[in-house]
Structure 1
Amino acid sequence: MQVVGLTTQQEVYVASKDRKFRINEMLKIVDESLNIPLGEVVETQAYNRYIPLSIDKGFVDKGVIDSLQSIGYNISEDEINIAKVRLLEEAPYPIKTGSDVLIPHFSEVKDLLVKEGPEEGLVLGVIRGTEEMTAEMDEELKDIAPLYENGNITPQNGVPFNFKVKAMHQYPHIGIIGGSGSGKSFGMRVILEELMKLRVPTIVFDPHFEMDFSDSFTDLDEKYTTDFAKAFETFQIGQEVGVNFSDLSTKDLSDLLTAASHLTDSMINAVQSLHQKKDSLLTFKGRLEDLQRAQELGRNRIDRDLKNGAVQGETKEEYHKYLELLDAYGNLPASSVSGIIWRLARLEREGLFSNSIDKVELGIKDRKLVVIQGPIWLLQVFATYVLGTLYRKRRDYKDAQYRQQEGEYFPPFVVATDEAHNFAPKGYDAPANKVIKEIAQEGRKYGTFLILATQRPTLLDETVTAQLNTKFVFRTVRATDIETIKQETDLTSDEAKRLPYLRSGDTFVSSAIFGRTLAVRIRCSKTESPHTENPFEELNKQSEVEDQRLYDAILYSLPINNTNILSKLEEINERSDSILDRNTLESKLDHLVDKGKIGAKDSILGGKVYEEIN
């Protein structure tokens, strides 16, 4: 292998008669005046007599062709493999043309590729283009990251990609970007598995109800499996977790009500006026409803009824209370009060106020991964409160430390969510936007970090996007999203062109920790989502279940013909959960005949006789 053509301080062309180049593989350029620099293959092409260079030059220019001829290549007859190689570090002056090119030994690139050992880092996959170094690797790096290729689990082949999680203290926050089916959620699952391995406290917002780690990946060898049963907990909003209303500040309450539906300025003013410290749901709701009732009656009617004795006993006491409320809050618009009551009722119906976040807080303190599930809008509501509360506890502890005071310990933690553009959208306010932006900007010094996954990076708040120091970029097809990715990462134009064609599970990792972009194949996850079943297989399976249920219901009523079908119908309906009529039963019987479960023959009295197959 030799350097050919014109060279620059950043890129060279390398040619070979005998060896085909792998995309993303590393090469060593023997130019001793530049201390033998390393480069990465970013594009490669092969030519032969049937596709001569003179017909389809691709990225090859006349200088490359002349260089090939001068060093003995027969461009009309030889098969020529050419690679565009980008230097890992810019050279002070161009590489010498004609320099030999070799495959580096693992020891020569170890410091570039391995930033952390597998026991202390997140083993997330295999670095593409390192397959030829497998045999030379340290033993601790071998056979730790099996891959999932074309529906099969395959052994690790290449250098493992170990993410140095401790470096997030300097380069915080991770972004996971990719379209539907790109492997984005798969990559998120693998990252969360590794965080559980290291017992890093993590809170996960799961709008798709898929982040369950109970089931091992199908057909995965036992030596790779891990039992995460004690490492994570799953809670649903309104069932196991919720918001303790009496703990809410007025601002917290405004944020929660805004999440249910946007609050106008007059509604915000009403909440600030009506909410009192340590209010319970019952007292706040009662104050609202009493004020609404007082406004409906009006001061004139209340005064009149009290003066003429139209109300007595408890009703009279209520009317006096109405007058007090009108004196205190009578200037608040009735529409604002009604709007707050509607929003509060919506949150109450979802069970948001029926529990607390004590279980979440306990799980984080116990160094577990805590998964919170619910519909996306309710997760936004809950995230506003739970992140604000937990981040405040962590910040208060660290601030106390800085002031050399004693504070209640609260551990550092990671926040992870899919559909991140719904939590921190660009262009408009969302309930959790403010707290996520605050963590993105200041979380590093307090030990709070973000892992945000999204299909649409263009829709994610730009302040948040700019703080994601590591980005996993999976297959992306939208031009606007690719442009955003190019602006926010160090992906080259060549790599950006490949984004629409990446295989599911392949990703570019742009990380300040590594100082450059790496092409990585995400490892096979150790667990699988409960939603992995193909929906069409599910459809067929359910049909089989229903067919068997119907067969069991009619079996003891066979044979069935025109003369007894009505009486048999009554028997079948008693045995089955559904109520069939005559036409539906005949249709079902014909279907079972087609499936070969029962037989049918023509009756001498007309119609068919349905009977059991012997």
Structure 2
Amino acid sequence: MQVVGLTTPQEIFVASKERKFRINEILVIDDPYQGPLIGEVVEANSYNRFIPLSINHDFIDARVLESLERLGYSISEDEINIARVKLMTEASFPVTTGAKAHLPEFSEVRDFLVRSDAEGGLALGEIKNTEETASTMDENLKGLFYVYSRGERYRTRNVPFLLDLKSFQQYPHIGIFGGSGSGKSYGLRVIMEELMMKGIPSIILDPHYEMDFSAMEEGLEGAPDFRGAFRKFQIGEDIGVEFLALGKRDLLDLLSAVKPLTEAMSSAVEILHRRGDTFISFSSRLELLAEALELGRIRIEKMLQQDLEPAEREKYKKMKELIEEYPNIPLVSVQGIAWRLRRLHASGIFNYDIKPVKEALLSGKLAVIQGPIWLLQVFSTYLLSNLYRARRDYKDGELRGQNTADYFPPFVIATDEAHNFAPKGRDAASKGVITEIAQEGRKYGVFLVLATQRPTLLDETVTAQLNTKIIFRTVRGHDIATITEETDIGAEEARRLPYLPSGDAFVSSPLFGRTVAIRVRYPYTRSPHTLNPFDELKRYRVSAEEKLFGLLEPHLPVYDTNLLQVLQAINTDAPELKLEVKTLKESLDNLVKSGRLKKTETPFGAMYHS
């Protein structure tokens, strides 16, 4: 392998007759004047002697052709492999043409490829096309995990990609971008597994109900068991908001997360909410005030002049007091607040508190928060604000030398569909706290892992703070433009983004100083959504057929003349089926088609028998 053509301090061409080049592989250039230079292949081509070499002028120009001929290459006869190589560190002056190049041993490029050891880093996957280099690396870095490629699962044979945990202090947040089916969710799952293996307290907001880590993949030797490393919480069933602990700001955030509040509504909440309010006291005040405003003071006073039951009189007295205390609050504002509050209460959010989540974090576990997207938006506003405040109060007290706050650990916040929690160009209740953590969380040891299919829709302030970005296959032009603006991905990588295989990704991180092409490792756990929907349909039909056959078997043979009698017996044994004569007849014919039953025509109609 030799350097050919015109060179620059940043980029060169390398040619070989014996070896084909691969995108993203590492080469060492033995420059006689500057010493070893490390470069990465960003474009590779092979030319056969039966195809003229000069047809691709955008890649190979006349100077490269001339250089090849002078170095002894026969352009008309040889197959020539040519790579465009970008130097990882700019050379002092242009590389010498004719300089030899070779595949590096691990010791030559260790500092460029590995910035951590297996114990101190998150093993997210393998660096692509580094097999030759990996063969000479330390034994404790070999075969750390499994990868899945081209239908085969095997121990990694490449250099592992390790994301140094200690680097989070300097480069704190991670963004995961990729379209549907790109491997983005698997990448997020792998990061969560690695955090659990390291005992890092973490939270993940799970709108798709897929972050369950109890089902282990089979055949993975040495796979860790995560069943005791995470806890799963359903909003309104396991965790919620303690209304008594809500301040005015918290309550405003919760109500506006259901539907944005008008200025009049916000003012009304601040006036009506009192310290020490329970849900019952606050909602009762709202309902009574709404009824009082609807009736008006004159009608209330007339009612009080009548002969009323004590409970009724007490009610109207309270209504009169409220309308006198809050005469300027519009009825429509009170009704709007009451409707939002009723919707929150119907979700069960006020029946629990966040104590179990805090306990999980204090135990170094992952807390999986599940619920519909709208409820997650509502709840995460309260949850993240509360947890971030607990961590910040502890650290601020420690720095002031006043340990008044209880210890609360550093933690990681992760979510899929991140553009719903911090959207660009519009308000969302959770946007404020996520933006604050993105800008200041590093100081307090609170970090973000945000995954989204649409980086263009994610708030720009948040996107700018995601120091490490993992980019899977992305097709939309606007999203690719956003990615190229926010990362150091070059034109070559951007052109490849729409065609990346599922599970392949580019990692842009200031820790490495360049874009690294990786393949995400095979997860140790299985998502509940891995079953193909058509396999699911087939399985359901088989199960339904088995159930129906079991119900029919005691009544065989079945005749057209006694269908109604058989139908009544089946509906008595299995009322959930709610069969009718027509559907029973169709089911019998389907059992004949599948070979479970036989059908014989008789003078009295069809007979179904085994």
Secondary structure in 2 matching 1:157: coil
Contact 2:220 2:524 in 1 (8 A): no
Secondary structure in 2 matching 1:54: helix
Contact 2:167 2:511 in 1 (8 A): yes
Tell me, in whole angstroms, the C-alpha distance in 2 between the residues paired with 1:273 and 1:560: 73
Deviation at residue 320 of structure 1 after TM alignment: 1.9
- Verify: 1:316 aligned to 2:318, yes or no: no
Question: AA paired with 1:582?
Answer: V
1:485 maps to 483
Tell me, in whole angstroms, the C-alpha distance in 1 between the residues paired with 2:5 and 2:442: 47
TM-score normalized by the length of structure 2: 0.98
Tell me, in whole angstroms, the C-alpha distance in 2 between the residues paired with 1:32 and 1:350: 72
- Verify: 1:265 aligned to 2:266, yes or no: no
Secondary structure in 2 matching 1:193: helix
Contact 1:153 1:220 in 2 (8 A): no
2:599 maps to 600
2:74 maps to 74
Deviation at residue 69 of structure 1 after TM alignment: 1.0
- Verify: 1:381 aligned to 2:378, yes or no: yes
2:190 maps to 190
How does 1:354-503 map onto structure 2 within 5 Å? 354-407=351-404, 408-503=406-501
Deviation at residue 580 of structure 1 after TM alignment: 2.7
1:347 maps to 344
Aligned residue pairs: how many? Answer: 608
Question: AA paired with 1:222?
Answer: E
Deviation at residue 241 of structure 1 after TM alignment: 0.2
Deviation at residue 317 of structure 1 after TM alignment: 2.2
User: What do residues 494-536 of structure 1 show as CA deviations (whole Å, max 9, x unaligned)?
Assistant: 0110000101110100011112110011000000111111110
Contact 1:214 1:228 in 2 (8 A): yes
Tell me, in whole angstroms, the C-alpha distance in 1 between the residues paired with 2:567 and 2:238: 46
Tell me, in whole angstroms, the C-alpha distance in 1 between the residues paired with 2:564 and 2:273: 67
User: What do residues 105-128 of structure 1 show as CA deviations (whole Å, max 9, x unaligned)?
Assistant: 110111211111111211111001
CA separation of 1:356 and 1:600: change in aligned 2, threshold 3 A: same
How does 1:239-258 map onto structure 2 within 5 Å? 239-258=237-256
2:283 maps to 285
2:533 maps to 535
Secondary structure in 2 matching 1:411: coil
Contact 1:550 1:576 in 2 (8 A): no
- Verify: 1:585 aligned to 2:562, yes or no: no
Tell me, in whole angstroms, the C-alpha distance in 1 between the residues paired with 2:79 and 2:543: 59
Secondary structure in 2 matching 1:238: coil
Q: 1:519 aligns with which of 517, 520, 530?
A: 517
2:273 maps to 275
CA separation of 1:201 and 1:588: change in aligned 2, threshold 3 A: same
2:84 maps to 84
Which stretch shows the higher mean deviation, 319-328 or 473-482? 319-328
Deviation at residue 312 of structure 1 after TM alignment: 4.7
Deviation at residue 260 of structure 1 after TM alignment: 0.7
1:22 maps to 22
Tell me, in whole angstroms, the C-alpha distance in 2 between the residues paired with 1:557 and 1:591: 17
User: What do residues 286-325 of structure 1 show as CA deviations (whole Å, max 9, x unaligned)?
Assistant: 111111111122101112232x334352222222211211
Deviation at residue 58 of structure 1 after TM alignment: 5.0
Deviation at residue 606 of structure 1 after TM alignment: 5.4
Secondary structure in 2 matching 1:30: strand
Tell me, in whole angstroms, the C-alpha distance in 2 between the residues paired with 1:559 and 1:165: 70
Secondary structure in 2 matching 1:101: strand
Which stretch shows the higher mean deviation, 36-45 or 321-330? 321-330
1:569 maps to 567
Deviation at residue 607 of structure 1 after TM alignment: 3.3
Tell me, in whole angstroms, the C-alpha distance in 1 between the residues paired with 2:109 and 2:384: 41
Which stretch shows the higher mean deviation, 113-122 or 422-431? 113-122
Contact 1:220 1:526 in 2 (8 A): no
Contact 1:203 1:415 in 2 (8 A): yes
Contact 1:4 1:12 in 2 (8 A): yes
Question: AA paired with 2:135?
Answer: A
Question: AA paired with 1:5?
Answer: G
Which stretch shows the higher mean deviation, 342-351 or 139-148? 139-148
Contact 1:202 1:370 in 2 (8 A): yes
Contact 2:103 2:133 in 1 (8 A): no
Amino-acid identity (%): 54
Contact 2:207 2:371 in 1 (8 A): yes
Secondary structure in 1 matching 2:558: coil
2:135 maps to 135
Tell me, in whole angstroms, the C-alpha distance in 1 between the residues paired with 2:510 and 2:298: 70
- Verify: 1:236 aligned to 2:234, yes or no: yes
How does 1:5-16 map onto structure 2 within 5 Å? 5-16=5-16
Secondary structure in 1 matching 2:357: helix
CA separation of 1:568 and 1:43: change in aligned 2, threshold 3 A: same
Which stretch shows the higher mean deviation, 81-90 or 31-40? 31-40
Secondary structure in 2 matching 1:86: strand
Secondary structure in 2 matching 1:504: coil
Tell me, in whole angstroms, the C-alpha distance in 2 between the residues paired with 1:608 and 1:458: 63
Secondary structure in 1 matching 2:396: helix
Which stretch shows the higher mean deviation, 90-99 or 541-550? 90-99
User: What do residues 315-352 of structure 1 show as CA deviations (whole Å, max 9, x unaligned)?
Assistant: 22222211211121121000000000000000000001
Tell me, in whole angstroms, the C-alpha distance in 1 between the residues paired with 2:571 and 2:285: 54
Deviation at residue 57 of structure 1 after TM alignment: 4.1
Tell me, in whole angstroms, the C-alpha distance in 2 between the residues paired with 1:387 and 1:567: 61
Tell me, in whole angstroms, the C-alpha distance in 1 between the residues paired with 2:265 and 2:219: 55
Deviation at residue 153 of structure 1 after TM alignment: 1.3
Tell me, in whole angstroms, the C-alpha distance in 2 between the residues paired with 1:494 and 1:67: 25
Deviation at residue 594 of structure 1 after TM alignment: 0.5
Secondary structure in 1 matching 2:280: helix
1:126 maps to 126
User: What do residues 229-280 of structure 1 show as CA deviations (whole Å, max 9, x unaligned)?
Assistant: 1110000000000000011110100000000111000000000000011211
Tell me, in whole angstroms, the C-alpha distance in 1 between the residues paired with 2:537 and 2:103: 51
Secondary structure in 1 matching 2:608: strand
Secondary structure in 2 matching 1:608: strand
Tell me, in whole angstroms, the C-alpha distance in 1 between the residues paired with 2:164 and 2:530: 30
Question: AA paired with 2:221?
Answer: E
Secondary structure in 2 matching 1:424: coil
2:40 maps to 40
1:96 maps to 96
Deviation at residue 563 of structure 1 after TM alignment: 3.3
